[in-house]
Copies of this chain bind each other. A is one copy, B any other.
Amino acid sequence: MSPNPNGPPVPPALSPEQQGTWFAYMRVMLRLGYEMNRQLQTDSDLSLPDFDVLNALADSPDGRLQLTGLATRLAWERSRLSHHLQRMSARGLVERSPSATDRRATDAVLTDAGRAALTAATPGHTDLVRRMFFDGLDPALLPALRTALEQVHEQVLVHGTLPRPGQPQRRLPGLEPAG
C-alpha cells in the first residue's frame, strides 16, 4: 500500500547519509546544551539563556537593543523575553529603558553589573566550548563545517517563520501572496 500511487508529492525520506548527519546533530545539540548550561550555572550563576541575552546586548551598540529585535535575534517568543528581562533586571544585570525613536518600544540595556558578569563568565564558557567542541575536531574539517552551518543558517532564515534579525520587522505592503 504505497502512500501515493500517482508519483511523489510525498516527500522523500532522508537518505542514510542525511539521517546519520541529522542524528549526530541532534545528539550534539542535546548534550552540548546540557553541558553549557551546567557549566555556566555552576561557575557563574548564569543560565545559558541569561548568557545569550548578555552576549546579544554586549554585541550591540551601547549595549542596547529593542525587545523585538532582541527576541528575533535569540529566536525567542517576545513574551518569554519580557518575563526573562524582568528577572534579569531584578538581579541588576539589565535595565529596561524606553526607546528613543518609538514610544511603544522598550530597549533592554546592559548594566555595568551585567557587563561585569559577562566578562567574568566568558573565559570559562569559552574554555568549555574549546574543550567540548573544537579540541576533538579535525582542523581540516573546520572550514567545511563552518560553511555547512552557514548554509543551514541561511536556509532557516529564508524558509523559517521568524524575520531575519536586524531587519525592519514591519510587514511590507505588496508582498502578500497574490489574491
Contacting residues, chain B, for A31 (C-beta < 8 A): 75, 153, 156-157, 160, 162
Provide the main secondary structure of the chain A interface: helix
Which has the most chain B C-beta neighbours within 10 Å: A29, A149, A154? Answer: A149
Number of A residues with CB within 8 Å of any CB on chain B: 62
Contact B138 A17 (CB under 8 A): no
A176 in the interface, Cβ–Cβ < 8 Å?
Answer: no
**Identical copies in the complex:** 2
Contact B13 A126 (CB under 8 A): yes
A38 in the interface, Cβ–Cβ < 8 Å?
Answer: yes
Contact A11 B137 (CB under 8 A): no
Contacting residues, chain B, for A116 (C-beta < 8 A): none
Contact A142 B34 (CB under 8 A): no
Contact A20 B146 (CB under 8 A): yes
* Complex CA–CA separation, A15 to B38 (angstroms): 24
Contact B138 A147 (CB under 8 A): yes
